[in-house]
Amino acid sequence: TGERPYECPECGKSFNQSSNLTVHQRRHTGERPYECPECGKSFSQSAHLTAHQRSHMGERPYECPKCGKSFIHSSALIVHHRIHTGERPFECGECGKSFIQRSHLTVHQRSH
């Protein structure tokens, strides 16, 4: 357990499965082999294409059990759920202010 024998020759990051290394290497090469037949936008992972295609179909399968709001991506539901729980897991090390999303913390940190 914990073995990661597949190492990226570009950056040294290692993976437990060769398929995960293959997906990772697309970050370096820019390869995006999965193309949306509807609009032509391309993606590095098939799962990202599948999620994108929901935007064309209007499909929003991830629904908040608290308020009923629905989302295209499960990750968006996770972030949304923090509104109900009050969870703010991303804290500024300089001033202690905390945020629901990492990107909000990143923007905030530029003000210091």
Q: What is the pLDDT of residues 53-65, one digit of tens each?
A: 998 999 999 999 9
Structure confidence at residue 2 (pLDDT) = 84
The confidence score (pLDDT) of residue 6 equals 97
Query: Taking 90 as the threshold, does the pLDDT of residue 1 lie above it?
Result: no
What does the pLDDT read at residue 9?
96
Q: Average pLDDT over the chain, rounded to whole?
A: 95
What is the C-alpha to C-alpha distance for residues 28 and 111, in angstroms, rounded to an integer?
A: 31
For residues 105 and 85, what is the distance between their CA atoms, to the nearest angstrom?
Answer: 18
Host H or E run for residue 23: helix 18-29
